[in-house]
Amino acid sequence: MKRSFIREILEHTDSDTISFAGGLPDPGLFPVEELRRAGERALGEAGVYQYATSSGLAPLREWIARWYSDGGFPTEADEILITSGSQQALDIISRYHTGRAITIESPSYLGAQNLFDLNNISTDPIPLHPEGIDLPGFAASIRQTRLAYLIPDFQNPTGSRYRPEHRAAIARDCEQHDALLIEDAPYSELYFDAPIPSISRRVPTRSYRLGTLSKILAPGLRIGWIRADRTLLTPLIAYKEATDLHTSPLTQSIAWHYLRDTDTLRQHIRQIRSRYHAKMTHFADTLTRQLPAFDFTRPEGGMFLYGTLPDTDTRALLRRCLPRGVVFVPGAEFGGSDDAIRFNYTHSSMTEIEEGIGRIREAMEAV
Ligand SMILES: Cc1ncc(COP(=O)(O)O)c(C=O)c1O
């Protein structure tokens, strides 16, 4: 298995390094005070110290089901399985589908590709365009694999966002070929304009819709979930139980006490969107000014900005950037081209964005 290159880079950086590498939220946006209050309530409950049910805390599952239903995707609490982050959701689903083939986007999320490798799932990568996966390629592939893994909202690493027509075509293909869809959606709430309905809504009985609190609240809580039809979800509960019995009742309870006032979360997400939009704009403007050769499309949400530096080996460029104290992830790490780069624009401050991009320019000029 390929070790996460991103983690390796993070290990080799010091506190002066400006990192555009990880998928880290802006730490200034964690609602620490509200979470502390939620934590105090949770710590006062005897139940958080006991073993709990594998499918998750009932009120939290009910809250998530209501969140989907209010958003136009009717969901019951027993269609939700709580996991330790959406990474564990991917792990459980991969184990269940061991030995199969799967259609994926190219490039795609490294953490999922590693799990597919571990579980002997052979991947069929189909090119990803800014408006979504290549449709003829997808149709030909899904007919063989009958299983797909897609990230339609502000994809990791490319930031691509599937258009509504694209989503409709994929849903039709899944129906036609009796296929299952794993729709990974950690960034779906981080749009700058308006949401686009999920593919899962069109195929509720053939999809695993993955959600997480990592990008809208705090990744340290390790709370994610799978939304699926009961027939699909029930066999996964045994896998969840075999893996770790259940997700920590303490963090589930903290999350629930925070979430129960849904308006607080809505307000918080609005704040994240507006801050990330401002950061993306600053990042994109600085790139245009300082690295005019970098060819990219401005993302409409999410946490990543992806593009190419024609005729540049970006792994070699990264090696020159490390001693200058700035890092990013070369696109080739995700299965992208050798001249591609993924930048995370959410973690650094406005000043660091300016400074970091300046250091990359110096590294380029030093050739
Ligand atoms: C596409 C995608 N899926 C899943 C994850 C895992 O997120 P978590 O386990 O924190 O929910 C990430 C994290 O960056 C991601 O980008």
What is the edge-to-edge ordering of all strands in the sheet holding 304-308? 295-296, 304-308, 340-344, 329-330
Which ranges of the chain does DSSP label H, i.e. alpha helix? Answer: 5-11, 32-43, 58-70, 85-96, 110-118, 135-145, 164-176, 230-244, 249-259, 262-290, 314-321, 350-365
Report the alpha-carbon distance of residue 112 to residue 44 in Å, rounded. 37
Best of 24, 30, 64, 87 to mutate for ligand 1, by most ligand atoms within 8 A of CB? Answer: 87
d(CA 123, CA 125): 6
256 contacts 230 by C-beta, under 8 angstroms: no
Distance 290 CA to ligand 1 centre (A): 30
- Per-residue confidence in pLDDT tens, the chain, 367 aa: 556 666 677 677 788 899 999 899 999 999 999 999 999 999 999 999 999 999 999 999 999 999 999 999 999 999 999 999 999 999 999 999 999 999 999 999 999 999 999 999 999 999 999 999 999 999 999 999 999 999 999 999 999 999 999 999 999 999 999 999 999 999 999 999 999 999 999 999 999 999 999 999 999 999 999 999 999 999 999 999 999 999 999 999 999 999 999 999 999 999 999 999 999 999 999 999 999 999 999 999 999 999 999 999 999 999 999 999 999 999 999 999 999 999 999 999 999 999 999 999 999 998 7
| Cβ burial, residue 86 (10 Å; 0-12/13-18/19+) | buried
How many residues appear in the chain? 367
DSSP letter for 47, please: G
d(CA 342, CA 155): 11
As a whole number of angstroms, the distance between CA 69 and CA 182 comes to 19
Atom of ligand 1 nearest to the CA of 155: 1
Residue nearest (by alpha carbon) to ligand 1 atom 14: 23
* Contacts for 261 with CB less than 8 Å, ≥ 6 apart: none
Q: Of 64, 210, 214, which is best to mutate to test ligand 1, by the most ligand atoms within 8 angstroms of its C-beta? A: 214
Among 184, 189, 251, the mutation site with the greatest number of ligand 1 atoms within 8 A of its Cβ is 184
Query: From the CA of 10, how far away is ligand 1's center (Å)?
Result: 17
Nearest ligand 1 atom to alpha carbon 84: 9
d(CA 64, CA 46): 23
Ligand 1 neighbours (beta carbon < 6 A): 23, 85-87, 109, 111, 151, 156, 184, 186, 212, 214, 219, 224
- Alpha carbon distance 128, 351 (integer Å): 32
Confirm if 198 and 167 have CB atoms less than 8 A apart: yes
Cβ neighbours of 325 (radius 10 Å): 16
Question: What is the pTM assigned to this prediction?
Answer: 0.96
End-to-end CA distance of the chain: 33
Integer Cα distance of 188 and 227 in angstroms? 14
Cα 202 to Cα 262: distance, rounded to the nearest angstrom: 26
